[in-house]
Structure 1
């Protein structure tokens, strides 16, 4: 990365999709980047590739502070929230890690950030380089309004630096989370010197990352695969799904990832399923935690918390049993 124009995309949520958007758009704009993405992008032929241009686009993950091993010239921070509390002590320590990441930018570098994220604002005073803000439905260096969703697509008007000229953006991806993902991507590309209208068109043609609102079956019922594993991500994708599927009955199978994450964020998880008609919870996926941590929380605890929060949930231990339950209980028009 030291020998390239390093572009790093960071944030608690949205970094995989945004990295994919930027890499794809650069290729569409004939800039042929190298890229490293934490997900499979069909339009790029996978999650990594070696290009011929100066650009190296990389997803920058905050877990175990691994993003502090990178040397970006430009960076994006989409948002900062509590996560990876098996590694970090608390939110303040997480914010400190993102501050250290931003401090790696050179004086002639660039930081693009979402002004909708209050925690991101806490690191800006220490950033050694130029910063550019992005926001939804409020003024910033780049901001979006007239946001609407139709037929599985997203549309908005892009404003830039108070200029009278605007850009109409049409995305092949759906939801407010993809509006902010695309907004920071277009801002980054524009700051790199690309025409904003052409950048918007390139980003608009991006169709997404595998397992991000991935419709894998769509006949009598619809089956959607999504990687959302944090309460904010779950709430966002379920809210978007409710709108996308026009209020159809929505059954969610959610396997919690990590006992520690489930325990630390239990209250937020319980509130994140408000748009689901039924939540099925199997045993928690055991990874990175100690046996002691494993003994401190059970999937049944999450089911009880969801029900206490006004939701409808059931614990079914194994996927074999879940498959049988779904076979007997899903009906025409349901969304899984």
Structure 2
């Protein structure tokens, strides 16, 4: 694929933070934190960090020379100029307390992201769902066509294994997190909103109207020469742009007939999607093919198409890039079809890993599986993520999780939250059981091997095994792949 003629590769150099040499990240293993740390290392800063977990991100940073401590200790911050703190870290963290005593600068993850984005042409992707895939699609298009953008993402791009990258051009692409309202610190030139739903409402006094006001505040900060791209299918977004004077340059996309970039004739053929886009102002119709299933990915791809078209990339080049997009790890990630032996019979099971932890996301995954494999039995192992989310969306979880054939419920992955009565896995188990469609399975397993032994009794030879959740549940799928379903 030839690069567009107007896209000339020029090394884009941004000013350095001259008085800052040593930067320490508290909670460096998170995707957002790790991505920023990666960019700063590539820019030449000395970076260190601490966390309580080892994962792909920490291993990658260690390979780049980053010193990571797998405990929080006051000795970790000797000779540090700046402390970058994850929103998941509490104020009683010993490194934060010690930094205050030493008068070390302490800033949030979002503040550091703002500072390194300051001199770039920033493109942010916001919304309750779809941020990670949309961000990756945009990066993939820009990268494939020679723009060499910088990007930070919440997931790992398949094949390239990238979750962050320091490019040489002016473009900086990143997802912007609304979970703690930190996205309002950023000042992009283009922003995409995929949707606004009842997610992370524990931070917004359990009131979605407060969340909408934060989005409104953020959008009004987009410069007059910038652009806002929104999914008009979402009721909250539609009402937001209808009832408020936000910006002169808004582009809408979606299945809705009044969308500026309208999706129509969507077809799902196995694990592939085909649909058409109508650019209404130009009256141009385009056929789009994806190697990904699901209408949610159609929306993600349309958002990526819209922002790419807006900056001047040719339609045919965008479409070719989208067709080759490989996907994101842990987002409807098909890890393989495995043979196993049970009672002297050979069976097959398809193993899928999905990061979704909100009822809307989980429901989309279940429906996509039912469309692709209508006759297969779905066995889900689900790990609830946060007590607050479980209790706030309790009834929605019950209805959605009842739509699988067999459901294993693990203990809640707290993500640092304190226990909340009614937001635990036992309560969820009882709620689903009382709902009456299925009887879930909940137990106190000593380790993942015990869970695997238990689920073998549920395999029929015609199964989808879905590992669902955003915590450390991916360790189960890793173990299954390693064992190749052999006990």
Could you tell me which of 199, 214, 237 is aligned with 2:365?
237
Output one character per residue of 1:48-93: Cα deviation in whole Å (capped at 9) or x when no partner.
Answer: 0011111100111101111112110001000001111331111111
**2:399 corresponds to 1:263:** no
- Which whole-Å CA distance do the structure 2 matches of 1:44 and 1:57 have between them? 17
**Equivalent residues of 1:109, 1:129 under 8 A apart:** no
Could you tell me which of 163, 168, 174 is aligned with 1:52?
168
The DSSP-based 3-state class of the residue aligned with 1:86 is helix
The DSSP-based 3-state class of the residue aligned with 1:63 is coil
**Equivalent residues of 2:212, 2:240 under 8 A apart:** yes
Shift of 1:167: 0.8
Output one character per residue of 1:239-277: Cα deviation in whole Å (capped at 9) or x when no partner.
Answer: 001111233000111110011110110011111125311
The DSSP-based 3-state class of the residue aligned with 1:224 is strand
Shift of 1:162: 4.5
Match of 2:223 in 1: 106
**Equivalent residues of 1:109, 1:130 under 8 A apart:** yes
Match of 1:85 in 2: 201
The DSSP-based 3-state class of the residue aligned with 1:116 is coil
Any residues of structure 2 matched to 1:209-220 within 5 Å, and which?
209-219=328-338, 220=348
- Which whole-Å CA distance do the structure 2 matches of 1:193 and 1:223 have between them? 40
**Aligned residue pair count:** 334
Match of 1:317 in 2: 444
The DSSP-based 3-state class of the residue aligned with 1:155 is strand
Shift of 1:287: 2.2
The DSSP-based 3-state class of the residue aligned with 2:163 is strand
Match of 1:249 in 2: 377
Match of 1:201 in 2: 320
- Which whole-Å CA distance do the structure 1 matches of 2:392 and 2:161 have between them? 37
Any residues of structure 2 matched to 1:221-232 within 5 Å, and which?
221-232=349-360
Instruction: Provide closer, same or farther for how the CA distance between residues 101 and 43 of structure 1 changes in structure 2, counting only shifts above 3 A.
Output: farther
**Equivalent residues of 2:270, 2:293 under 8 A apart:** no
Q: Which ranges of structure 1 fall in alignment gaps of 5 or more residues? A: none
The DSSP-based 3-state class of the residue aligned with 2:254 is strand
Match of 2:428 in 1: 302
Q: TM-score, normalised by structure 2?
A: 0.66
Q: TM-score, normalised by structure 1?
A: 0.95
- Which whole-Å CA distance do the structure 1 matches of 2:255 and 2:310 have between them? 19
**2:256 corresponds to 1:128:** no
- Which whole-Å CA distance do the structure 2 matches of 1:320 and 1:88 have between them? 39
- Which whole-Å CA distance do the structure 1 matches of 2:256 and 2:181 have between them? 32
Moved more, 96-105 or 147-156: 96-105
**2:442 corresponds to 1:326:** no
Shift of 1:122: 3.1
- Which whole-Å CA distance do the structure 1 matches of 2:350 and 2:330 have between them? 15
**Equivalent residues of 1:256, 1:285 under 8 A apart:** yes
**Equivalent residues of 2:233, 2:256 under 8 A apart:** no
Match of 2:7 in 1: none
**Larger gyration radius, structure 1 or structure 2:** 2
Kindly report structure 1 stretches of 4+ aligned residues shifted beyond 4 Å.
none
